[in-house]
Amino acid sequence: MAKQVAVIGSGVMGHGIAQEYALAGYTVFLYDLQESFLLKAKRSVENSLSLLVKEQVISEQAKQDALERIVLTTDLQAAVAKADVITEAIPEVIEMKWDLFEKLEQFAKEDAIIASNTSTFSIARLIEKAKTPQRIIITHFFNPAQLVPLVEIVRHEKTADAVVSRTMELMVEIGKSPVLLKKDVPGFIANRLQTALMREAFSLLKEGVADAREIDTVMKDGIGFRWAFVGPIETADFGGLDTWKRVIDNLAPELNASQKAPELIDELVEKGKLGTKTGSGIYSYADTSVEEKWKQRDEQFIRLAKMKRG
Ligand SMILES: NC(=O)c1ccc[n+]([C@@H]2O[C@H](COP(=O)([O-])OP(=O)(O)OC[C@H]3O[C@@H](n4cnc5c(N)ncnc54)[C@H](O)[C@@H]3O)[C@@H](O)[C@H]2O)c1
């Protein structure tokens, strides 16, 4: 079987998804609107692969082979013509996704799987205008896509069973940990859990219960330390369901239940302080360069992944 895939959009997510397929031996056609975006994406892949070599996860030869398997193109038709699987990672704008799907349905092989990396649209919304919904599926990777194992898979009742099983197999083949949802709900599973936690974290910050650094420490050294190995439902079992019944009954009424983003985030967005990508957000990144921060984060993720595998 031909081992060729296409990734459409080479930004934050697209380059990492391309890297995963390339490392697993697939020829990857990586498409974007401009050559300069593609060159930036390839540099990011090269840096990420170099880090994997430094951390002894892959060999220098595997790095070179993966880089050679990534073909950059600004020609959409050429990108998808021979692909068995096409993953779109273009901006989260529904009209853009519909417009792209229309082209993909026209240019792609009849049996090619079309996967979306959407983080918020339901599969029902994505396929609203599709002529071949049976081959459309969501594969929701996590940032950084090349390092976080989870991929949430969302199907529609119109998605062919064979497409679902092939996608699940493929994710395992490229080293991912796929979770297939039984229902199409907004935000899937991970972003719902994450949003519930972020809402409370920002509420504690606003109420002056602790500074950002302390709140992050509680997560990294407490809850998050456990959660890398024990999920929330297991945690309830380990802690005792009688205890957790009291915890939830007593605390649920105390929790923030806001229906919108925290004011602090609104204010910072208004000022253009978007976090690492603009050099400051909740924290300032004046002392350590943002690139260095990202590199440190990725090194830690690589080491955690090794430990989890090991
Ligand atoms: N950033 C995240 O943390 C994250 C996590 C999971 C899922 N997602 C989802 O992944 C998708 C991509 O997000 P991102 O953060 O990588 O965005 P991004 O802005 O970093 O990258 C999008 C890329 O798509 C290109 N593009 C724009 N219009 C295009 C078009 N019509 N055809 C082809 N390419 C086009 C852009 O030039 C850009 O390079 C979105 O659906 C997003 O919701 C993002």
Using DSSP bridges, classify how beta strands 85-88 and 4-8 pair: parallel, antiparallel or unpaired.
parallel
Residue 240 is labelled as binding a ligand: no
DSSP code, position 284: B
CA gap 288, 277 in Å, rounded: 13
The total number of structural domains that make up the chain: 2
Q: Name the one residue in this structure whose structure tokens are 């994406």.
A: 41
Distance of CA 286 to the CA centre of its chain: 27
Residue 64 domain-assigned (yes or no): yes
* pLDDT number for residue 144: 96
pLDDT of residue 1: 47
* 140 and 28, same domain (yes or no): yes
Question: Do residue 38 and residue 127 come from a single domain?
Answer: yes
Q: Is 32 in the pocket of ligand 1 (CB under 6 A)?
A: yes
281 annotated as a binding-site residue: no
Does 174 contact ligand 1 (Cβ within 6 A)? no
Q: Among 33, 34, 72, 90, which is best to mutate for testing ligand 1, by the most ligand atoms less than 8 A from CB?
A: 90
Backbone angles phi, psi at 286, to 5 degrees: -80, -35
Distance, in Å, from the CA atom of 59 to the CA atom of 77, rounded to the nearest integer, reads 33
On whether residue 196 sits in a domain, the answer given is yes
Examine the domain organization and report whether 51 and 154 are in the same domain. Answer: yes
pLDDT at residue 292, as a whole number = 86
Residue 60 annotated as catalytic: no
Cα–Cα distance for residue pair 18/13, rounded to 1 Å:
9
Asked if residues 210 and 222 have their Cβ atoms less than 8 Å apart, the reply is no
What pLDDT does residue 278 have?
Answer: 87
Measured CA to CA in angstroms, residue 11 lies from 160, 169, 184, 305 at distances of: 29, 25, 26, 23
Q: Which tokens is 102 given?
A: 């229309």
Q: Is 121 left (phi over 0), alpha (psi -120 to 50) or beta?
A: beta
The rounded distance, in Å, linking the Cα atoms of 294 and 161 is 38
- Domain end (from 149, 180, 211): 180
In a shared domain, residues 158 and 20: yes
Residue 294 lies in a domain: yes
CATH number at residue 301: 1.10.1040.10
pLDDT at 284: 86
- Residue 185 in any domain: the answer is no
Q: Is 191 among the catalytic positions?
A: yes
In three-state secondary structure terms, 259 is coil
**Residue at a domain's end among 180, 208, 231:** 180
Q: Does ligand 1 come within 6 angstroms of the Cβ of 12? A: yes
CA distance 105 to 77: 11
Distance from C-alpha of 17 to C-alpha of 174, rounded to nearest angstrom: 10
Contact 177, 206 (CB under 8 A): no
Residue at which a domain ends, from 180, 212, 230:
180
Q: Answer yes or no: is 255 within a domain.
A: yes
Task: In whole angstroms, give the CA distance from residue 21 to residue 6.
Answer: 9
Residues 118 and 265 in one domain: no
119 has catalytic annotation: yes
Check residue 25 and give left, alpha or beta (phi > 0: left; psi -120 to 50: alpha).
left
Taking alpha carbons only, the member of 110, 113, 109, 116 closest to residue 81 is 109
Inside any domain, residue 99: yes
Same domain, 112 and 252: no
- Determine the structural domain holding residue 164 and report its residue range: 4-180
92 is in an annotated binding site: yes
Is 32 annotated to bind a ligand? Reply is yes
**Which amino acid is residue 135, in one-letter code?**
R
Residue 90 Cα to ligand 1 midpoint, Å, equals 4
Same domain, yes or no, for 156 and 254? no
User: Same structural domain for residues 79 and 208?
Assistant: no
Query: Which portions of the chain are predicted below pLDDT 50?
Result: 1-2
**Rounded distance from Cα 32 to ligand 1 centre (Å):** 10
Q: Residue 73 is part of a domain; what is its CATH number?
A: 3.40.50.720
Residue 66: CB atoms within 10 A of its CB come to: 25
- Is the same domain home to 33 and 132? yes
Report how far apart the first and last C-alpha atoms of the chain are (Å, whole number).
Answer: 31
Same domain, yes or no, for 168 and 269? Answer: no
On whether both 176 and 222 belong to a single domain, the answer is: no
Both 43 and 111 in one domain: the answer is yes
- Cα 13 to averaged position of ligand 1 atoms, centre (Å): 6
Asked, for residue 112, whether it belongs to a domain, the answer is: yes
